[in-house]
Structure 1
């Protein structure tokens, strides 16, 4: 039985990056050897030096919805904040509402002077509400007009340019949070990677807010992951199988890409196949990786499922030692922070 406490570390608050760097590639990069624990310090652009011809970089092309809405309750005028979590069907969404006690079944909320309305159809735990939206036109266009980016709770600064919380390759709408390891890439860097003979492939996993939820159990195996929707095309599956067959390495960008790849490989005897569905895979030390050979990721919260996933790849002691070094060298942490390459 493994304790959550084993994944704790001291993080000075001033190392939590509040704003993104102007130049995406300018982040620092810590390179961690997953076998020896050896650490090198570099800059993100040099990620190119660690990728070989025939390898494949896998990125998550999900696009973050401006999923935070501010409205008023029709009958009382009370202010209400709504966060879209996932579309259940048509105009029906699972949401988080603050303050939840004001919204009961049948309550109507208006946003943007009635441009968008929502009716509460059901209640769930932890402030969850199921809402049905009413509007004219196209829902996502209305959302772009009225919604705000749902930045993580540890970011207190306003974001001047909302595209800075999207990857340059974001395409498939549906996330409540960005796959932040992908934020370091520019179009030019991706082109340089392709020019070196490295394959670039895309999967989709829509990130839910479960990502930010602190673990409320003491023992890791009692934790339940929230399910998230993923998708892999036939073309990507074919490419990844060929890379494996030819002896190339699969380098996953971010924990979301990793969870998608590992879910598909686990369910198909180590092979990749065209698929879509919901995954609640929970990766922690003791897990044997079936899909990836390396990982590009940001620096994660203490005691989070994400630092556990990283520890399953590089070993808990190696990872905690690397994090201690990152604190000492004043790396920037979390969503807008620096990156780590584990190979």
Structure 2
């Protein structure tokens, strides 16, 4: 387990089997913007705030390798699903490239230019590792799929469109079977693309009024218990409004915060089975929409009292979704069991991570060094 401390520009590594083991990696004085494990758990990758280089630290022989020309201001750094390759965004002489590295030797395998989209904002691997997609930063709406085999790239969205339809891509997610490619846009909709025909098959709007009885609306109760689980309230009346407001911390002395100025789909994630997709929109940061892919219908809506800061599906395939809102409670949702909240030992859970086997959760608090194992 590794924990990065951005202001102090170092990473600490801990061993769950050997609590006395300690390792500290120092990046430099400016600070860290990213730290992640390699798939073989023998290397830790770090990127500084200045985006000057990617540092690859070996825990086996205590060596370090560097990769230069990272695209500034972009988190474009993704391992392939099988862990064999690392893809990252480069910027050389005002041109943008995708560089593919071998994750064992860290030697370059492939480099291709992103010539049909402008200002690349991110990349995402296809689940079978045969290719990856890149997309432009808003307001441009370029979205392109590149294949490692060398075949012609697939243009899903063109930045040269005279009348923009999506107002820019915010986030992208592949279905686990690679059958669908979904992207969230600044038009506050989730767009679902069939990867066989590359035609859109559905649009999921983040509506503020729920009118259908086929959708279950769960609302966080006003009062929560500190020692036991709390069931969500089910709103049965229709139509019901999902208010685009966030209840701030009590210390602010206000009951409701103003409606966010930013708008667009900010979070998008498929469950491991591909049957469900969860999304979050800037217009309602305290609301999570859950869609059923087989029916292409809205199935559930979770309404929290505070803005949702993280949402993660269980890796076991049982469609359990956990969310947190910088409070001491962690919420769980499943299509069979409904929604409930459980208290944790942290006062402000801001991020969650599942164990690969789905047996427990790692909770991160807003305070420096606040980590807790939750089972």
The TM-score normalised by the length of structure 1 is: 0.26
- Structure with the larger helix share: 1
Bigger relative contact order (CA 8 A; separation at least 6): 1
TM-score normalised over the length of structure 2: 0.24
